[in-house]
Structure 1
Amino acid sequence: MPVFSYKAMTGEGSKVSGTLEAESLELAYEKVLNLGYLPSSVKQGGKVKTRTETDAGGLTMLFTKVKAQDVILFTKQLRTMLNAGIPVLQSMQTLLAQIENPRLKAAVEEIAKDITGGQSMYRAFGKHKKIFSPLYCNMLRAGEISGTLIQVLDRLIYIIEHENKVRKDIQSALTYPIIVVVALVAAFVVLIVFVLPNFIKLFKDQGVALPWPTQVCVRLHEIISGYWPIIVPAILGTLFALWYWSKTDRGRLFFDTLLLNLPILGPVFVKAAMSRFGSIFAILQSSGITVLESVDIISGTIGNAAVSKQFEGVRELLEQGRGLAYPLKKAKYFTPMLVTMVAIGEESGQLEEMLKEVAQHYDYEVEYSVAKMSELLGPVLVACLACVVGFFALAVMLPMLDLMSSALAGA
């Protein structure tokens, strides 16, 4: 099949270029339009990169990370092509020529082969969990079951974009505190190991009694300087063990529970979980999926093991015919507002609309909480910094004052 190269404009006004296969120039123009682009030039020629050429022996793919923006762009292009009436398999094969990320390209190529072999999109995408999250795969499953794949992709794009924005906002809010904490730890080690020993030697030579802050610093210096070959490997080993344990089911449950109970960050993650619950449950309800099936899907896509654990009790009560609001009220972490809105939705027969309202409300709450978190962390860090600086100031200044007093008394 002939290969065509094209140059086009996106809906946002940015320029794109690429290659694709088509039987004729007219069909090539049509394919570019189906991608959601406005073609400025399409001509025969060019070369479609193969997987081997793109991967460069696999090294490029090994060190390439699939970012959220890559997945969002791919999903938008897939949604556009499906909305234009192009079959799933043909859409996937066409998109292969447009994907620039080698790791994502390889995954989509395998997915297209699996779909050609008769597998469902849910199972084909589910083989690439490091690229496509459980939420992504289960939403595809919901779309396939209900026949509303395009509507599901619309909602999925919104969820991924919103959560990516929230994630970046949280990272941005935590960047400054992390830098300050690292600087404090570095300053602490430098003062304890290199600076304070000189002052302590001076105080001891002059026979000055050391106050308790200085004695604490002396003890810390002895521990760090005497046992650092043990302390450093122990810290690194502990961090690695905690990281490895966090990948297990019990470890993930422990850390996710801890995360939800943190003083400042905890409420933000609870609201984010409620937003995801409302968004996913609403689209599942609009797709005609039963409440029990929806609970099973959400349990694996809520994004927090502690909240997912609560769905076990929710499912048991649902099977007893207790409705949805009552089980959620008995479960932990589900806010009173969410439970109330669900109860109203069940009584009025407008559960889907109520869940959408909940999702929109908590989307706003998360954004507000992230901004508020940035404001709260500032004073907390200043207080911590003042405590550390004050402690070391006391450790040096108190014996220094005693030394000056002794000198003046001797004069």
Structure 2
Amino acid sequence: MPTYVYTALNENGVNMQGAIDADTADAARALLLSRGYVPMKVKAQGASFEFGALGDILNPVKPKELILFTKQFRTLFQAGIPITQLLQVLQNQTESKKLKRVAADMAQSIVGGSTLYDAFKAHPRVFSELYCSMMRAGEASGALGDVMERLVYLLEHEHKIRSDIKSAMRYPKMVLGALTIAFFVLLNMVIPKFITIFSKARIELPWPTKVALGLHHALTTYWPIALGLLVCGIVSYKWWVRTEPGRYWRDHTLLLIPITGPVLQKSVMARFASIFSIMQSSGVSVLDALDVLTNTIGNAAIAREFRRIQDKLREGRGIADPLKSAKFFTPLVINMVAIGEESGSLDSMLKDVAAHYDEEVEYAVAGMAEAIGPVLIVALAAVVGFFALAIFMPMWDLTKMVQR
């Protein structure tokens, strides 16, 4: 029978360490619980070390795992199970090793006197600022179950939007990959063979063939320099977009691109309306909600507009007037917010806006895929057609020379 080493809390909340014989890790936890201990960590004796922060980066929690974890937390909490026992159940049920470790750490923090919000906030790589803010609102208002119901909806809603966008972009990515492969195969494997034939025949090469020959020569001769410039360009770009000006420029530019810009704008409007409505109905103030939105909206250009709105709100204005002067907010959002603010039903109005833009995003994503597909096919045909001209135009001249 294997031996498991454990860290557990006794009935007085004191940490205890030891070893226990059991068939499985779950059996070891059950045995500890039967003895009145709350297991924090249980692993086989001699098990390999887990690389804490590095492991978190290389193996992040998947959205589906987080959604399931949140649903289980909500169900157990509504059933009236104490938080420490609830987290122990989650630790045993979840299949994610990272979430197991997080649940154990959270249980230990709560036993040590931390609030539920502090326990969640201690794991920023797992729980976003929005997630933690929602938990704080639920804990402060005493309506944690209702808040978690809204949080589950929000997590599923955002996961669905991301999945739809990824699905829509799968075909364009495949076409771009085929386009890149076709370009390099034709340039490096097909063109050189025909160039040798044309050189021996001493015929005048047409301009498509000269361009293809020049590209082949540049690629084969200067590829180390080109590769170095490409790597430096990518590294520099990634470093720059991590700065505030670079991030703002990237997100602002994405919103202005004809095909993808409207889809991104509608997606951000849906995210803004759904998050804002949920935080309003959870008792979070407008300023605090905007502060959370600034850090979680996912677009630096719109986040800057939130900061301007916050400044005007601190001057005593309502939210509708600052929205009118803000960039990227659609007339529908502005008008619905104004009506909701005047009638005192801002959260319900924002729910309607979120539902509207959810449908708009679905249609826009489908339209984007339909619009990008033909463009990429034309680009692929243009590349293949260019190389066809580069090969067959001199072949035609060569055929004429042979006939003479």
Of 383, 386, 395, the residue aligned with 1:391 is 386
Deviations 1:146-168 (CA, angstroms, capped at 9, x unpaired) = 33221221111111112112212
Aligned to 1:161: 156
Deviation at 1:278, TM superposition (A): 1.0
Deviation at 1:295, TM superposition (A): 1.3
Deviations 1:182-212 (CA, angstroms, capped at 9, x unpaired) = 2211221121122112222322332322222
TM-score under structure 2 length normalisation: 0.85
Q: Distance in 1 between matches of 2:253 and 2:118?
A: 32
Q: Distance in 2 between matches of 1:304 and 1:122?
A: 26
Of 60, 64, 85, the residue aligned with 1:65 is 60
Do 1:48 and 1:97's aligned partners in 2 also have CA atoms closer than 8 Å? no
Alignment pair present for 1:147 and 2:133: no
Deviation at 1:292, TM superposition (A): 1.7
- Could you tell me which runs of 5 or more consecutive residues in structure 1 were left unpaired when the two chains were aligned: 6-16, 26-43
Alignment pair present for 1:351 and 2:342: no
Aligned to 2:48: 56
Aligned to 2:363: 368
Deviation at 1:231, TM superposition (A): 1.7
Letter in 2 for 1:172: S
Deviations 1:169-190 (CA, angstroms, capped at 9, x unpaired) = 2212212221221221122112
Q: Distance in 1 between matches of 2:157 and 2:248?
A: 24
Aligned to 1:14: none
SS in 1 for 2:316: coil
Do 2:33 and 2:39's aligned partners in 1 also have CA atoms closer than 8 Å? no
- Could you tell me which runs of 5 or more consecutive residues in structure 2 were left unpaired when the two chains were aligned: 1-9, 11-19
Percent of aligned pairs with the same residue? 46
Aligned to 1:273: 268
Deviations 1:106-153 (CA, angstroms, capped at 9, x unpaired) = 122222222223333333222222211222122222223333221221
SS in 2 for 1:57: coil
Do 2:248 and 2:300's aligned partners in 1 also have CA atoms closer than 8 Å? yes
Q: Structure 1's 132 and 354: CA in aligned 2 closer, same or farther, altered over 3 A?
A: same
Alignment pair present for 1:105 and 2:113: no
Do 2:138 and 2:145's aligned partners in 1 also have CA atoms closer than 8 Å? yes
Give me the CA root mean square deviation: 2.9
Deviations 1:50-75 (CA, angstroms, capped at 9, x unpaired) = 35449732169925431111111110
Q: Distance in 1 between matches of 2:290 and 2:262?
A: 23
Q: Structure 1's 59 and 287: CA in aligned 2 closer, same or farther, altered over 3 A?
A: closer
Do 1:51 and 1:106's aligned partners in 2 also have CA atoms closer than 8 Å? no
Aligned to 1:252: 247
Letter in 1 for 2:233: T
Deviation at 1:19, TM superposition (A): 8.6
Letter in 2 for 1:56: S
Deviations 1:233-277 (CA, angstroms, capped at 9, x unpaired) = 332333233334434444433332233233322222211211111
Q: Distance in 2 between matches of 1:210 and 1:18?
A: 78
Alignment pair present for 1:225 and 2:220: yes
Q: Structure 1's 117 and 77: CA in aligned 2 closer, same or farther, altered over 3 A?
A: same
Alignment pair present for 1:306 and 2:301: yes
Of 66, 69, 75, the residue aligned with 1:74 is 69
Do 1:135 and 1:301's aligned partners in 2 also have CA atoms closer than 8 Å? yes
Bigger drift between 144-153 and 75-84 goes to: 144-153
Q: Distance in 2 between matches of 1:72 and 1:380?
A: 37
Do 1:146 and 1:289's aligned partners in 2 also have CA atoms closer than 8 Å? no
User: How many residue pairs were aligned?
Assistant: 377
Bigger drift between 326-335 and 61-70 goes to: 61-70
Deviation at 1:224, TM superposition (A): 0.3
Alignment pair present for 1:91 and 2:82: no
Q: Structure 1's 166 and 200: CA in aligned 2 closer, same or farther, altered over 3 A?
A: same
Q: Distance in 2 between matches of 1:159 and 1:243?
A: 29
Q: Distance in 2 between matches of 1:147 and 1:370?
A: 39
Greater RCO (CA < 8 Å, at least 6 residues apart): 2
TM-score under structure 1 length normalisation: 0.83
Q: Distance in 2 between matches of 1:88 and 1:366?
A: 38
